[in-house]
Protein backbone atom coordinates (compact mmCIF):
# COMPACT_ATOMS: atom_id res chain seq x y z
CA UNK A 1 0.00 0.00 0.00
CA UNK A 2 1.31 3.44 -0.90
CA UNK A 3 1.75 5.90 1.93
CA UNK A 4 2.30 9.60 1.51
CA UNK A 5 5.66 10.79 2.82
CA UNK A 6 5.59 12.31 6.29
CA UNK A 7 8.20 14.89 5.29
CA UNK A 8 8.32 17.06 2.17
CA UNK A 9 11.73 18.62 1.53
CA UNK A 10 11.88 22.36 0.85
CA UNK A 11 13.32 23.26 -2.58
CA UNK A 12 16.82 24.69 -2.06
CA UNK A 13 18.02 27.84 -3.78
CA UNK A 14 19.83 25.66 -6.34
CA UNK A 15 16.61 23.86 -7.43
CA UNK A 16 15.67 24.12 -11.09
CA UNK A 17 12.42 25.98 -11.60
CA UNK A 18 10.06 25.89 -14.54
CA UNK A 19 6.40 26.50 -15.34
CA UNK A 20 3.83 23.96 -16.37
CA UNK A 21 0.09 23.60 -16.77
CA UNK A 22 -2.05 21.26 -14.73
CA UNK A 23 -2.33 17.90 -16.46
CA UNK A 24 -5.88 17.18 -15.37
CA UNK A 25 -8.42 19.49 -16.97
CA UNK A 26 -9.04 22.20 -19.54
CA UNK A 27 -9.11 25.05 -17.04
CA UNK A 28 -5.35 25.09 -17.48
CA UNK A 29 -4.18 26.24 -14.07
CA UNK A 30 -0.55 27.26 -13.86
CA UNK A 31 1.98 25.45 -11.68
CA UNK A 32 5.61 25.88 -10.75
CA UNK A 33 7.88 22.85 -10.76
CA UNK A 34 11.04 22.57 -8.66
CA UNK A 35 13.54 19.74 -9.18
CA UNK A 36 16.82 19.03 -7.46
CA UNK A 37 18.98 15.92 -6.83
CA UNK A 38 18.11 13.94 -3.72
CA UNK A 39 21.74 14.14 -2.55
CA UNK A 40 21.50 17.95 -2.33
CA UNK A 41 20.39 19.42 1.01
CA UNK A 42 16.92 20.93 1.16
CA UNK A 43 16.32 24.66 1.50
CA UNK A 44 15.62 26.63 4.66
CA UNK A 45 12.42 27.98 6.14
CA UNK A 46 13.13 31.62 5.33
CA UNK A 47 12.22 33.08 1.96
CA UNK A 48 15.88 33.94 1.40
CA UNK A 49 16.93 30.34 2.04
CA UNK A 50 14.65 28.49 -0.38
CA UNK A 51 13.65 28.49 -4.04
CA UNK A 52 9.91 29.05 -3.50
CA UNK A 53 10.59 32.56 -2.22
CA UNK A 54 8.34 32.69 0.81
CA UNK A 55 8.62 31.93 4.50
CA UNK A 56 7.59 28.47 5.69
CA UNK A 57 5.60 27.00 7.29
CA UNK A 58 2.48 28.63 5.93
CA UNK A 59 -1.21 27.82 6.23
CA UNK A 60 -2.72 24.90 4.30
CA UNK A 61 -5.26 27.12 2.50
CA UNK A 62 -2.76 29.73 1.38
CA UNK A 63 -1.90 27.81 -1.80
CA UNK A 64 1.70 27.95 -0.64
CA UNK A 65 1.71 24.96 1.64
CA UNK A 66 3.69 22.17 -0.05
CA UNK A 67 1.43 19.23 0.68
CA UNK A 68 2.53 15.58 0.41
CA UNK A 69 0.46 15.37 -2.80
CA UNK A 70 2.65 18.08 -4.35
CA UNK A 71 5.82 16.08 -3.86
CA UNK A 72 7.40 13.08 -5.55
CA UNK A 73 10.73 11.58 -6.53
CA UNK A 74 11.88 10.33 -9.91
CA UNK A 75 14.99 9.22 -11.76
CA UNK A 76 15.99 11.49 -14.62
CA UNK A 77 17.79 10.58 -17.85
CA UNK A 78 21.14 11.29 -16.22
CA UNK A 79 20.48 8.33 -13.90
CA UNK A 80 20.25 10.46 -10.75
CA UNK A 81 17.38 10.53 -8.30
CA UNK A 82 15.54 13.85 -8.01
CA UNK A 83 13.04 15.50 -5.70
CA UNK A 84 10.07 17.10 -7.46
CA UNK A 85 7.76 19.71 -5.96
CA UNK A 86 4.84 21.07 -8.01
CA UNK A 87 2.89 23.93 -6.44
CA UNK A 88 0.33 26.36 -7.89
CA UNK A 89 1.94 29.37 -9.52
CA UNK A 90 1.45 32.48 -7.46
CA UNK A 91 -0.16 35.23 -9.54
CA UNK A 92 -0.93 33.02 -12.54
CA UNK A 93 -3.92 34.61 -14.24
CA UNK A 94 -6.07 31.45 -14.27
CA UNK A 95 -5.74 30.11 -10.74
CA UNK A 96 -4.07 33.01 -8.89
CA UNK A 97 -1.92 30.65 -6.83
CA UNK A 98 -4.85 28.43 -5.93
CA UNK A 99 -5.52 24.80 -6.85
CA UNK A 100 -8.26 22.20 -6.79
CA UNK A 101 -7.93 18.96 -4.86
CA UNK A 102 -7.02 17.16 -8.07
CA UNK A 103 -4.57 19.80 -9.22
CA UNK A 104 -2.87 19.57 -5.84
CA UNK A 105 -1.75 16.05 -6.76
CA UNK A 106 0.02 16.81 -10.05
CA UNK A 107 3.31 15.55 -8.67
CA UNK A 108 1.86 12.15 -7.79
CA UNK A 109 1.39 11.27 -11.48
CA UNK A 110 5.11 11.43 -12.17
CA UNK A 111 6.95 8.18 -12.74
CA UNK A 112 8.62 7.01 -9.58
CA UNK A 113 10.48 3.68 -9.63
CA UNK A 114 9.61 3.18 -5.96
CA UNK A 115 6.00 4.37 -6.11
CA UNK A 116 2.64 3.33 -7.53
CA UNK A 117 3.59 4.73 -10.97
CA UNK A 118 6.49 2.27 -11.24
CA UNK A 119 4.40 -0.04 -13.44
CA UNK A 120 3.95 2.58 -16.15
CA UNK A 121 4.19 1.15 -19.67
CA UNK A 122 7.52 1.76 -21.35
CA UNK A 123 6.79 0.17 -24.74
CA UNK A 124 3.73 -0.17 -26.99
CA UNK A 125 1.75 -3.38 -26.54
CA UNK A 126 0.19 -5.63 -29.18
CA UNK A 127 -2.32 -8.33 -28.38
CA UNK A 128 -0.92 -11.59 -29.76
CA UNK A 129 -2.36 -14.98 -28.92
CA UNK A 130 -4.74 -13.45 -26.37
CA UNK A 131 -2.05 -11.64 -24.38
CA UNK A 132 -0.50 -8.19 -24.60
CA UNK A 133 3.06 -8.40 -25.92
CA UNK A 134 5.60 -5.55 -25.82
CA UNK A 135 6.67 -4.41 -29.29
CA UNK A 136 9.06 -1.73 -30.55
CA UNK A 137 7.91 1.79 -31.38
CA UNK A 138 8.96 1.17 -34.99
CA UNK A 139 6.72 -1.90 -35.18
CA UNK A 140 3.82 -0.06 -33.51
CA UNK A 141 4.03 2.88 -35.91
CA UNK A 142 4.34 0.56 -38.92
CA UNK A 143 1.19 -1.33 -37.88
CA UNK A 144 -0.77 1.85 -37.07
CA UNK A 145 0.13 3.58 -40.33
CA UNK A 146 -0.66 0.42 -42.31
CA UNK A 147 -4.12 0.12 -40.74
CA UNK A 148 -4.83 3.82 -41.33
CA UNK A 149 -3.74 3.65 -44.97
CA UNK A 150 -5.83 0.55 -45.55
CA UNK A 151 -8.91 2.16 -43.97
CA UNK A 152 -8.57 5.38 -45.97
CA UNK A 153 -8.06 3.39 -49.18
CA UNK A 154 -11.21 1.36 -48.57
CA UNK A 155 -13.54 3.94 -47.02
CA UNK A 156 -12.05 7.36 -47.69
CA UNK A 157 -10.93 9.91 -45.06
CA UNK A 158 -14.30 9.89 -43.34
CA UNK A 159 -13.87 6.22 -42.60
CA UNK A 160 -11.34 7.30 -39.97
CA UNK A 161 -12.17 8.90 -36.63
CA UNK A 162 -9.93 9.69 -33.72
CA UNK A 163 -10.25 10.40 -30.08
CA UNK A 164 -7.56 12.19 -28.16
CA UNK A 165 -6.81 13.80 -24.89
CA UNK A 166 -6.78 17.60 -24.80
CA UNK A 167 -5.31 18.52 -21.46
CA UNK A 168 -2.62 21.08 -20.87
CA UNK A 169 -1.63 23.16 -23.88
CA UNK A 170 -2.38 22.82 -27.57
CA UNK A 171 1.29 22.24 -28.29
CA UNK A 172 0.88 18.76 -26.80
CA UNK A 173 -1.77 17.85 -29.34
CA UNK A 174 -0.20 19.48 -32.39
CA UNK A 175 1.21 16.31 -33.98
CA UNK A 176 -1.95 14.22 -33.77
CA UNK A 177 -4.28 17.00 -34.93
CA UNK A 178 -1.96 17.77 -37.84
CA UNK A 179 -1.94 14.10 -38.83
CA UNK A 180 -5.70 13.68 -38.81
CA UNK A 181 -6.91 17.09 -39.96
CA UNK A 182 -4.22 18.13 -42.39
CA UNK A 183 -2.99 14.83 -43.80
CA UNK A 184 -5.84 12.33 -43.44
CA UNK A 185 -8.48 15.05 -43.84
CA UNK A 186 -11.08 13.51 -41.60
CA UNK A 187 -13.48 15.80 -39.72
CA UNK A 188 -14.28 13.03 -37.24
CA UNK A 189 -12.63 13.92 -33.97
CA UNK A 190 -13.58 13.71 -30.33
CA UNK A 191 -11.52 15.57 -27.78
CA UNK A 192 -11.67 14.31 -24.27
CA UNK A 193 -13.72 16.75 -22.14
CA UNK A 194 -13.55 19.47 -24.79
CA UNK A 195 -16.42 20.38 -27.07
CA UNK A 196 -14.18 22.07 -29.65
CA UNK A 197 -10.94 23.90 -30.04
CA UNK A 198 -12.84 27.07 -29.14
CA UNK A 199 -11.31 30.40 -30.01
CA UNK A 200 -8.33 28.77 -31.66
CA UNK A 201 -10.42 26.60 -33.92
CA UNK A 202 -9.51 28.52 -37.06
CA UNK A 203 -5.91 27.41 -36.59
CA UNK A 204 -7.02 23.81 -37.08
CA UNK A 205 -9.17 24.43 -40.14
CA UNK A 206 -9.21 21.47 -42.52
CA UNK A 207 -7.39 22.22 -45.72
CA UNK A 208 -9.13 21.13 -48.89
S1 LIG B 1 -6.00 22.60 -10.74
FE2 LIG B 1 -8.06 21.68 -10.89
S3 LIG B 1 -9.31 23.23 -11.98
FE4 LIG B 1 -7.11 23.74 -12.33
S5 LIG B 1 -6.58 22.71 -14.29
FE6 LIG B 1 -6.05 21.30 -12.59
S7 LIG B 1 -7.84 19.97 -12.34
FE8 LIG B 1 -8.50 21.76 -13.52
φ/ψ of 41, rounded to 5, equals -65, 145
Across the range 124-150, mean pLDDT stands at 96
- H or E element in which residue 174 lies: helix 174-177
Given a cut of 50, whether residue 96 has pLDDT beyond it is yes
Residue 2, classed as helix, strand or coil, is coil
Given a cut of 60, whether residue 140 has pLDDT beyond it is yes
* Ligand 1 atom 6, closest CA: 103
Given a cut of 70, whether residue 185 has pLDDT beyond it is yes
The domains of the chain, with CATH numbers, are 16-119 (2.60.40.4210), 125-204 (no CATH)
Q: Is the beta carbon of 92 within 6 A of some atom in ligand 1?
A: no
Q: Is the beta carbon of 22 within 6 A of some atom in ligand 1?
A: yes
Mean pLDDT of the chain: 88
The whole-number pLDDT of residue 23 equals: 86
Q: Is the beta carbon of 81 within 6 A of some atom in ligand 1?
A: no
Q: Is the beta carbon of 25 within 6 A of some atom in ligand 1?
A: yes
Split at pLDDT 50, 70, 90, the class of 60 is confident
Q: Which residues pair with 33 in a beta bridge?
A: 18, 86
Across the range 9-31, mean pLDDT stands at 92
* pTM, 2 dp: 0.79
Q: Using an 8 Å Cβ cutoff, are 104 and 140 in contact?
A: no
Q: Which residue has the higher pLDDT, 126 or 171?
A: 126
How do strand 30-37 and strand 81-88 relate by DSSP bridges?
antiparallel
Q: Which atom from ligand 1 is nearest to the alpha carbon of 100?
A: 2
For residue 22, the CA-to-ligand 1 centroid distance in Å is 6
Q: Which residue has the higher pLDDT, 198 or 85?
A: 85
Q: Which residues pair with 71 in a beta bridge?
A: 85
Given a cut of 90, whether residue 74 has pLDDT beyond it is yes
Given a cut of 50, whether residue 206 has pLDDT beyond it is no
For residue 100, the CA-to-ligand 1 centroid distance in Å is 6
Across the range 79-89, mean pLDDT stands at 97
* Ligand 1 atom 4, closest CA: 29
For residue 15, the CA-to-ligand 1 centroid distance in Å is 25
Split at pLDDT 50, 70, 90, the class of 200 is very low
CA 13, 15, 18, 24 dihedral sign is negative
Q: What share of the chain is helix, strand, coil (3-state, %, to 5)?
A: 30, 20, 50
Q: Which residue has the higher pLDDT, 107 or 1?
A: 107
The whole-number pLDDT of residue 169 equals: 60
For residue 109, the CA-to-ligand 1 centroid distance in Å is 14
The whole-number pLDDT of residue 170 equals: 65
Q: Is the beta carbon of 28 within 6 A of some atom in ligand 1?
A: yes
For residue 46, the CA-to-ligand 1 centroid distance in Å is 29
Residue 43 CB partners (closer than 8 Å, separation 6+): 9, 10, 11, 12, 13, 15, 49, 50, 51, 52
Q: Using an 8 Å Cβ cutoff, are 179 and 144 in contact?
A: no
Given a cut of 70, whether residue 71 has pLDDT beyond it is yes
How do strand 189-191 and strand 162-164 relate by DSSP bridges?
parallel
Q: Using an 8 Å Cβ cutoff, are 43 and 12 in contact?
A: yes
Amino acid sequence: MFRFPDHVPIPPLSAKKHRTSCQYCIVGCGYTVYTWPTDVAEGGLKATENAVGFDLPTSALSGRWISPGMYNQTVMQDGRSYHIVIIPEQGYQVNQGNHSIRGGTNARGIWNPDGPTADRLTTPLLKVGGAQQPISWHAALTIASGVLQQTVAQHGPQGVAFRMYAYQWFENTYAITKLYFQHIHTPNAAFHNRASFGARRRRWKIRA
